[in-house]
Structure 1
Amino acid sequence: MRFTALWLAALCILVFILQQVFTTEPFLLIKDLTWSEPWRILTSIFAHSNLAHLLSNLFALVLFGLILEGRIGAKRVLWLFLISGILINMFPFYERSLGASGAIYGLIGALILLRPGMVIWVNWMPMPMFVAGIIWLIQDAIGVFIPDGVGNLAHIGGLGIGIIAGIYWRKKGYGDRIRRQKRKRDPELEKQLDEWEEKYMR
């Protein structure tokens, strides 16, 4: 399955629509119900509190997900996203929580290892991916002690899972190998993606 991030984004949109038609309650992760109603561990990953929450997560998911897919392939992106989100939700930090940000931080953690020098914009400033990761980690660490309504511990947990996965893939050389295979399969598409990444992400 190509373009995993787009399919995951579409699922987030579908769940958000269902939330508006029905209610958020069935999708919400509730700490006391984690094991008696285990489906919440998965459904809460795709649910969001409001439109702004959804759009911000979709932007990060599509951006980082597509770039990471170019390094490790679609299946690994899917599994990293799901494993990050599920592991975090199996041990909930908050009484009630929802959102894909913890799973997205898993993708970010892997990118920090696989594309540390990739330039992105954070707070209107260009910086390497690994520097952005440090800044986000510091912000979330501060947020743990100064609560701001954001799932900071979930972010940190997802980042850690992604970094562990990134270390493994970096040692195995999966990034380079998948990239070569993709070019052989669809060179024109890969050329367009590479040009876009070169123009906007360096």
Structure 2
Amino acid sequence: MQSPFANLTPVVKNLIIINIIVYIAMFALGDYVNLVKYLAAFYFNSPNFKPWQIITYMFMHDPGGISHILFNMFALFSFGPILESTLGSKRFFNFYFITGIGALLLHMFVQGLEVHNLIGSFTLGGADVNNISEAALQSVYSIYRTPILGASGAIFGVLVGFGMLFPNLELMILFIPVPVKAKYIIPVYIVLELFLGVKQYSGDSVAHFAHLGGALFGFLLIKLWGVKRPNNYQ
């Protein structure tokens, strides 16, 4: 039987394999090492932050359920190969990781604004904790302790790159019975993420600004690199 990875482009194939291996390792090594603590990303001033996390966080996914990694890998499987074929494997590799890092940078920037709004400083070390309310401190501690994990930021970069280069390709979207062109559906995703990120609904643990960061860097890279739409997809 042919492997489902047989027809995938090389970078996409290896990214999916690594993500799956890391996801399995979280459970296999769970009794010995907390991979979330070491490989997910934390606020830059958190005691749990390590430099390598800007890369490794992209390969971590929510251990509480399979939907997080399933949706991300399905999106990478669906949109990654055509984008890699267009950009070339080396450039796609750079595109994926730059958008993933960009996603984390925007997420941390927004976290920094939240911390500064709460305590008047971007770090606890620069604030007078004696003059800060208990509620504000608890909110800052929550930011310091909460990891960000997942490939979603890079995936949003891939989605935006795909939408820019193949705007007229029709996509089948869950709960929508007719195909919708990429140039219509992807901007809707971006606006929705912006709305949810600004509103910050209670109980919403999704890093919406990381998604927006990945989308922004994906847009900028396509523009800066001057990537043109393939002639047969005009």
Give the TM-score range, shorter chain: 0.7 to 0.9
Gapped runs of 5+ residues in structure 1?
180-197
Q: How many residues align?
A: 177
Equivalent residue runs for 1:24-173 within 5 Å: 24-31=36-43, 32-33=45-46, 37-49=50-62, 50-91=65-106, 92=108, 93=110, 95=143, 96-125=147-176, 126-144=179-197, 145-147=199-201, 148-169=204-225, 171-173=226-228
Instruction: Tell me the distance in 1 between the aligned counterparts of 2:190 and 2:50.
Output: 31
Is contact 1:110-1:164 (8 Å) kept? no
TM-score in terms of structure 2 length? 0.68
Closer/same/farther in 2, CA of residues 47 and 135 from structure 1, 3 Å limit: same
* Deviation, structure 1 residue 33: 3.7
Closer/same/farther in 2, CA of residues 35 and 165 from structure 1, 3 Å limit: farther
Is contact 2:41-2:49 (8 Å) kept? no
- Relative to its length, the structure with more strand (as a share) is 1
User: Larger Cα Rg: Structure 1 or Structure 2?
Assistant: 2
Instruction: Tell me the distance in 2 between the aligned counterparts of 1:172 and 1:20.
Output: 41
Closer/same/farther in 2, CA of residues 33 and 41 from structure 1, 3 Å limit: farther
Letter in 1 for 2:77: V
Closer/same/farther in 2, CA of residues 104 and 172 from structure 1, 3 Å limit: closer
SS of corresponding position for 2:180: strand
Letter in 2 for 1:139: L
* Deviation, structure 1 residue 164: 1.5
Closer/same/farther in 2, CA of residues 2 and 83 from structure 1, 3 Å limit: same
Aligned Cα root-mean-square deviation (Å): 2.5
Instruction: Tell me the distance in 2 between the aligned counterparts of 1:41 and 1:62.
Output: 23
* Deviation, structure 1 residue 21: 2.1
